[in-house]
Amino acid sequence: MIADEERWDLIHQKTHTENTLHSKFAEDVEKNFPRSSIVLDIGGGTGSDALYFLRKGHKVVLLDISAFALKLAQSRAKEENFGDKMVLKKIDFGFEDMPIKPNSVDIVYSRISLNYFGAKHTTKIFRDILTLLKNGGKAFLSFKSPDDESEMEYLRNIASVYEENVFIENGQLRSRFTKEQIEVMLKNAGIQSYVVNPYKEDLTGYRKDHKNILFTNVISFTKTE
């Protein structure tokens, strides 16, 4: 079975382009960032959204499992003279704690990068995110949802069921949690005040190998004392 690090290196090698656009999701949520924030980008890949945040005047800590993606993200940041405003760290989110000090970031951001774990581990990640945020810090997290009926039909026909709305395909977990499941996990993580909303992200012009609409659930919450 292929290791996750190698799997993601191969995916990024196959799909990256020189001028990959930042996401519509990044554009939408950045409007809610305090100016000059320290942004933790979880699973940010080759750094397209991170670069968008840098251009908006923020500093970024980018975490990813792929050494290839991180190297490319670093190169892209240096090309735009942002090398001193972005820190990159390699991490396997399935086995390692995030190497970030508690109460140290203003924003935790993740776009469909945490869809690879069961409910128990996802709950742990939510708890860790809460710990890493400063008081008053905000989280914006998007998860692929089960509202994409064609994808869910594919997973039910091709993949094995690991637990409710979590599947195993080619040795990799894929979660498609409902809004209600996410709310339970957030409460179990000690996050009492949150919003979970369905969000259809427009992917037109983003990548040729994608559908035009990405069905997600978006989590937002603020850490309070």
Inter-residue contact 167 to 114 (CB < 8 Å): no
Query: What domains can you pick out in the chain, each with its CATH number?
Result: 4-144+177-222 (3.40.50.150)
Structure token digits, residue 203: 């992917």
Cα gap 153→20, rounded to integer Å: 29
pLDDT in tens, 163-221: 999 999 988 999 999 999 999 999 999 998 999 999 999 888 665 656 789 999 999 99
Q: Name the band, by pLDDT with cuts 50, 70 and 90, for residue 48.
A: very high
Structure token digits, residue 159: 């993949």
Q: Which residues make Cβ contacts (< 8 Å) with residue 140, sequence separation at least 6?
A: 29, 32, 107, 108, 109, 110, 218, 219, 220
pLDDT in tens, 141-156: 999 999 999 999 999 9
Give the count of beta carbons closer than 10 Å to the beta carbon of residue 87.
15
Cα gap 71→65, rounded to integer Å: 11
pTM of the shown model? 0.93
What percent of the chain is predicted at pLDDT more than 70?
95
Exposure of 156 by Cβ count < 10 A (0-12 exposed, 13-18 middle, 19+ buried)? exposed
Rounding to the nearest 10 degrees, give the CA dihedral for residues 23, 28, 31, 32.
-110
Structure token digits, residue 93: 């989110």
